[in-house]
Structure 1
Amino acid sequence: MAHYVPVDQIEIIHAALDKGFRSGKTKSIAYRKQQLLNLGYLLKDNAERLQEAFAADLGRPHLEGAFLEVDGSITEIKQSINEVDKWAKTERPPLSLTWTPMRPAIRKEPKGVCLIIVPFNYPLWLAMSPLAGAIAAGNAVVLKPSELTPAMGALLAELFPKYMDPDLYHVVNGAIPETTKLLELPWGHSSARVGKIVATAAAKTLTPVSLEARKSPVVIDSKCDLAVGVKRLLWGKVVNAGQTCVAPDYVLVEKSFQDTFINALTEVYHSFYPDGPAKSDSLSRLISTGHTQRIKGLIDNTKGTIVLGGEVNVEKKFIAPTVVRDVSGEDSLMSQEIFGPVLPIVPVESVDEAIAFINSRDHPLVVYVMSQDSAFKSKVFDNTQSGGAIANEYIIHCGAENLPFGGIGPSGSGYHTGKYSFDMFTHLRACLDSPSWIDKILSPRYPPYSDKKLKAVQALANTKLPARNAFVVSAGSKRWGRWLLFAFALVASSALLTRKVRLGSGSLQLK
């Protein structure tokens, strides 16, 4: 059980980290690299203990712990070590005749003491990914693990003082009172997955935040690679017992294809769990009996038909992977994010209806498409908005190097992973250094003003625009453009053909 930090100590911890930050330690890139390296060894040296914490908190199989959290976290830390020199380097904007003499620059500066509130579903990776970026950017950090993962919280609290500089990095365990106190304090940046609560609290201290929510649809093309597609889809839904922010939440499939889709899904289901889900050692458990009971209520109240799974044991925090067909948009399973191993199938008449269905709801964290048809994929992605747009794969895009991970609108703000984590915790500070001789050019800005000076400053501004209709293409001009292109191609082809004939005739004459 994680030891909760006394509420009256939280402000003291914040002040101590602020002092550590203002000492200037983190200005050194070498220092940041060493702290990142220490963090990597914290994970490497304690991999088995981390797996024990996953098992205690989430009933998670060893492979899921390694694949989804430990290995990915170490990889991201390594990338930060390798790239931080480049990321932190002061940038020069593009050449400008007006501004270049003033030596404009963009400094990459840390935001200060930052708060990372970690959700329960990925208690290590969703701590380490933003933390690596915050350290690389030169910040001090308070890490707040979820009270729903006490084993992981206790382990991180024990290990941090052994590996990390206590003047700058601290773990604060606690529940609602402790989190409430943390949110009352001013932070350089706050990263969390409990959007409305954190955003409301952050507004009081003008703390910038990165937030995330989710309910991600899958649009199925009837001409997809069904055998591979349903295997990936089912894994993406049930891994970590469906407690993944980017898990496919529901499926949109044409009515005429629903039976075929379910038959393929059934075959894969039985290959995953040949002795039944209850006897499988390849399934995680729900985080708590409360969450299990919530999802059970959604299943009990559905008007759809359960075709796979449906078994629930609240005491054991177990829900069998469950597939429900003929679900409507008003069904209990569509009323909230499921965040569990339950997959509703919503039949639609066409891809256009699927797109309209998605657009009638909050922007999702991800829109998934299962299709081999480029036009089909483009149609869905071009006509929807979401944090990510992923074809023929599920959830693993979060670990793809150099891709941002984040939402849009109600599904979140801000990005993390790799450089995007660094950017999230970095303040871009604009700089100019104007030499004295610039006044020979900019002196008209000084009073007393006159018409002559007005014309001079307007000339410097260079506000001339392209012709008013420079980019307007009428239907007629499009047609003429096509005819001209066709005529040019025809003339060029004729000339080439004539040349070939002449060359051929000449060669015959040589013989």
Structure 2
Amino acid sequence: MSKDIEKIVSVLRKGITEGVLNTLESRKCAIRNILKLFLENEEDIVKALEKDLRRCRTESILTDIDPSVGEAKTILSNMDSWLKEESVPSSFITLMDTVTIQKQPYGVVLIISPWNFPFILSFQPLIGAIAAGNSVLLKPSELTPACSQLIGELIPKYLDKHICQVICGDGSVSKILLETQRFDLIFYTGGTTIGREVYVAAAKKLTPVVLELGGKCPVYIDSDVSLDVAVKRIIYSKLLNCGQICIAADYLLCHEKILPVLKERIEETIKQFLGDNPQKCPDFARIVNVRHFQRLTDLLKQTKGKVMVGGMSDVNDKYFAPTVVFDVDEEDILMQDEIFGPILPVLSVKSPSEAIRIINSKEKPLAIYVFTRNKSVFDDFKMATSSGAIMMNDCTVHTLIPNIPFGGIGHSGIGNYHGRYSIETFSHRRPVILKSEVEYINNKIRYYPYTESGLSWLRWSLKKSDRNGCQIL
């Protein structure tokens, strides 16, 4: 296995040294081929997602296929301007010179993608990496074997082997990759525990990393909201992909004034979305495997809260009912780690400030969702909390907004991407300085022997210059 991996990385490295993606047109050609991959194989992708996750066609198109196509089109339309060398304003020190900043590819990038959205979370970073001029080794998740196999079959048909290759396998393959190979950048999407291991392995080789992790994304419902709208948006966030999404509503902080009517509204909404028996609804996905199913089952057994909605499950079908747990306290088992499933704990709070305190008592989340009609309440959350993103009156949909960065902070991740931010993430910003041969200033202030008049000239010139990062030698 190690020798095979070494050969694969060597081919990708050759793509960098031979400049396979040196021109913008070569990068555009590769991204157009990715577009063709999705347009020509949509039904095969839908079938693979249905096989691995029991995900319906509409949800697969909305979450995995169309966003990948949209990302490719956005980058194709804008990469000329996004990759153009940036001019740097002249200072006194550079009056006779030309200074620019070049976006340079890192080289060979390792992308380790997760199982919950196997295509978008593989191809969205892949598109950005190629646009920036990198070659890529893609390692999809073994937990969605049909999707990983399809990705492994399609990539060689649409992308040159010097641009991208796919390697499949379990966690041991990732371990070999990290221990035996030196990559120029590692992009990992997944859980925090494995994210730490990736970070440690990368640090040993001084390899830069982007970690797209998760965490417990809180939702606050204020006392003044339109409860029908709020509940629909929160429950949809929790049911999407059966709750297996890093930006799902993880727990609900509900103002005590509206708590008495919350249960009824939630039950009505679930029935409206999925019918009387969600297990028979073709739109509702399944838990990825028995291990994750058992993890969710254990959480419900250990919680001290009251299961007042749902709670049913079927291990043979990997079906887990939409479940809401009330009377949960801050120390409950449901409030410890990211749930990553269709279980929603509800905590009662007396005020927005209490909700903020609870949020700040935990690690920084990937997103915070605030439902309120009072902009000043939202501003309080915006100023007093820290998260990858914060949104007023909706959940989850910010990941579909073009041209904003997506990523976490602290335990929810390092770095961001999407659109132009993918270009930034997968590029090294290299200063390029073209020096004039004019020596008048150098003769006065730069060279030996130093003089008092030269020092005066130097100090005067620095006062006139933009000193941010200024170098005179």
CA displacement at 1:270 relative to structure 2: 1.6
Task: Find the counterpart in structure 1 of residue 46 from structure 2.
Answer: 51
Q: Which has the larger radius of gyration?
A: 1
CA distance in 2, matches of 1:229, 1:100: 57
CA displacement at 1:99 relative to structure 2: 2.5
Further displaced range: 450-459 or 350-359: 450-459
TM-score (norm 1): 0.88
User: Are 1:279 and 2:288 matched, yes or no?
Assistant: no
Task: Find the counterpart in structure 1 of residue 209 from structure 2.
Answer: 209
Structure 1 residues 42-61: Cα deviation after superposition (integer angstroms, max 9, x where no partner):
01100000011101111111
What is the RMSD computed on CA atoms of the aligned residues?
Answer: 1.5
Task: Find the counterpart in structure 2 of residue 175 from structure 1.
Answer: 170
Which structure 1 segments of 5+ residues have no match?
Answer: 1-5, 466-511
Structure 1 residues 300-350: Cα deviation after superposition (integer angstroms, max 9, x where no partner):
111111111101222322110101111111101011100001100111121
CA distance in 1, matches of 2:95, 2:274: 65
Question: Paired residue for 1:123, among 118, 127, 133?
Answer: 118
TM-score (norm 2): 0.94
CA distance in 2, matches of 1:19, 1:439: 45
CA distance in 2, matches of 1:120, 1:91: 38
CA contact (8 A) 1:416 1:424 kept: yes
SS at match of 2:307: strand
Q: Which amino acid aligns with 1:88?
A: L
Residue 257 and residue 160 in structure 1: after superposition, are their counterparts in 2 closer, same or farther (change >3 A)? same
User: Are 1:36 and 2:31 matched, yes or no?
Assistant: yes
CA contact (8 A) 2:92 2:462 kept: no
Structure 1 residues 207-226: Cα deviation after superposition (integer angstroms, max 9, x where no partner):
11111232100011110121
Q: How does 1:86-485 map to 2 (within 5 A)?
A: 86-184=81-179, 185-193=181-189, 194-211=194-211, 212-440=213-441, 443-462=444-463
Structure 1 residues 366-424: Cα deviation after superposition (integer angstroms, max 9, x where no partner):
01011121111111111100000111122121111101100111111111111111111
Q: Which amino acid aligns with 1:354?
A: A
CA contact (8 A) 2:222 2:372 kept: yes
Structure 1 residues 440-480: Cα deviation after superposition (integer angstroms, max 9, x where no partner):
25641222223332222111110899xxxxxxxxxxxxxxx
* Aligned residues with identical type, % of pairs: 38
Structure 1 residues 7-42: Cα deviation after superposition (integer angstroms, max 9, x where no partner):
430111001110111101211111100100001110
CA contact (8 A) 2:109 2:186 kept: yes
CA contact (8 A) 1:399 1:417 kept: no
Task: Find the counterpart in structure 1 of residue 61 from structure 2.
Answer: 66
CA contact (8 A) 1:218 1:250 kept: yes
Task: Find the counterpart in structure 2 of residue 8 from structure 1.
Answer: 3
CA displacement at 1:176 relative to structure 2: 1.9
CA distance in 2, matches of 1:167, 1:315: 43
Residue 17 and residue 464 in structure 1: after superposition, are their counterparts in 2 closer, same or farther (change >3 A)? closer
CA distance in 2, matches of 1:442, 1:206: 41
CA contact (8 A) 2:106 2:184 kept: yes
CA distance in 2, matches of 1:223, 1:40: 45
CA contact (8 A) 2:293 2:315 kept: yes
CA contact (8 A) 2:323 2:344 kept: yes
CA displacement at 1:177 relative to structure 2: 1.9
CA contact (8 A) 1:364 1:386 kept: yes
Residue 95 and residue 21 in structure 1: after superposition, are their counterparts in 2 closer, same or farther (change >3 A)? same
CA contact (8 A) 2:92 2:465 kept: no
Residue 442 and residue 403 in structure 1: after superposition, are their counterparts in 2 closer, same or farther (change >3 A)? farther
CA displacement at 1:234 relative to structure 2: 0.3
CA distance in 1, matches of 2:130, 2:24: 10
Task: Find the counterpart in structure 2 of residue 82 from structure 1.
Answer: 77
Task: Find the counterpart in structure 2 of residue 473 from structure 1.
Answer: none
CA contact (8 A) 1:186 1:206 kept: no
CA contact (8 A) 1:255 1:349 kept: yes
Residue 82 and residue 100 in structure 1: after superposition, are their counterparts in 2 closer, same or farther (change >3 A)? farther
Further displaced range: 455-464 or 28-37: 455-464
CA distance in 2, matches of 1:179, 1:150: 15
CA contact (8 A) 1:442 1:457 kept: no
CA distance in 2, matches of 1:67, 1:86: 28
SS at match of 1:104: strand
Greater fraction of residues in helix: 1
CA distance in 2, matches of 1:98, 1:444: 11
Q: Which amino acid aligns with 2:415?
A: G
Residue 450 and residue 95 in structure 1: after superposition, are their counterparts in 2 closer, same or farther (change >3 A)? closer
SS at match of 2:417: coil
CA contact (8 A) 2:263 2:309 kept: no
Structure 1 residues 158-184: Cα deviation after superposition (integer angstroms, max 9, x where no partner):
111111111221001011221111112
CA contact (8 A) 1:325 1:344 kept: yes
Residue 162 and residue 380 in structure 1: after superposition, are their counterparts in 2 closer, same or farther (change >3 A)? same
